[in-house]
């Protein structure tokens, strides 16, 4: 008799546990869905890339396939490093920038403009330094995308070509 009673009690507890698990699962799933919707709305407001989908049209490349792109490293007196110094509170901080330009090899003016760009490295370095000085040493690394798009527009205007399709900047702040 004792075994039978214990089996009935165990079965009842298992069924109660199952019912509570189902209730808990449905309540957590609905809460999780609401949380995901809230996070999605907040991400849209602050323009974050959600789930790897890039909705921004501020991309630094403006056409051309990767096979049709030739990259030119911007050099400053024989070095690929462009050093920007910032002084803040008596301390000197440095930002070391490496810049590469993506040129569309299928563009009509590619050969002429690539020669002009290679000969105009000082102009490009000056544009990079001028753009970098718009930011503080603490905000320059976070402004990488903005710097790339601004440099792209400025260099396309300077060299009067759409052959420059992208600007890639890497920044190290010291």
Percentage of the chain beyond pLDDT 70 is 89
Q: CA-based Rg of the chain, rounded to a whole angstrom? A: 29
Mean pLDDT of 97-103: 91
Q: What is the pLDDT of residue 49?
A: 52
Domain ranges of the chain: 1-56, 66-173
Residue with tokens 């959600």: 50
| Contacting residues for 162 by C-beta, under 8 A, at least 6 apart | 62, 63, 104, 107, 156
Instruction: Report pTM.
Output: 0.59
Q: Has residue 174 got a pLDDT over 80?
A: no
**pLDDT tens track for 24-72:** 998 888 888 888 888 888 877 776 555 454 444 434 444 557 788 889 9
Q: What is the pLDDT of residue 93?
A: 85
Token pair recorded at residue 155: 């260099």
- In DSSP terms, 79 is beta-bridged to 76
Q: What is the pLDDT of residue 22?
A: 93
Please give the CATH topology (third level) of the domain spanning 66-173. Tetrahydropterin Synthase; Chain A (3.30.479)
Q: List, in sequence order, the alpha helices (H) in the chain.
A: 2-45, 110-119, 121-132, 144-158
d(CA 39, CA 16): 34
Alpha-carbon torsion 57, 60, 65, 66, what sign? negative
Mean pLDDT of 121-136: 90
Mean pLDDT of 5-10: 93
């Amino acid at each position: 008799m004792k075994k039978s009673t214990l089996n009935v009690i165990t079965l009842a507890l298992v069924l109660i546990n199952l019912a509570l698990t189902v209730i808990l699962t449905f309540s957590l799933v609905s809460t999780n869905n609401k949380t995901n919707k809230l996070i999605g709305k907040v991400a849209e407001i602050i323009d974050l890339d959600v789930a790897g989908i890039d909705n921004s049209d501020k991309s630094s490349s403006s056409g051309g396939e990767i096979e049709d792109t030739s990259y030119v490293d911007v050099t400053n007196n024989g070095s690929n490093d462009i050093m920007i110094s910032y002084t803040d509170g008596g301390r000197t901080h440095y930002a070391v920038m490496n810049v590469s330009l993506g040129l569309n090899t299928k563009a009509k003016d590619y050969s002429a403009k690539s020669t002009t760009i290679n000969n105009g490295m000082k102009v490009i370095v000056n544009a990079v330094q001028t753009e970098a000085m718009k930011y503080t040493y603490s905000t320059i690394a976070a402004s990488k995308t903005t710097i790339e798009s601004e440099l792209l527009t400025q260099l396309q205007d300077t060299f009067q070509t759409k052959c420059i399709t992208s600007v890639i900047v890497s920044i190290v702040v010291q």
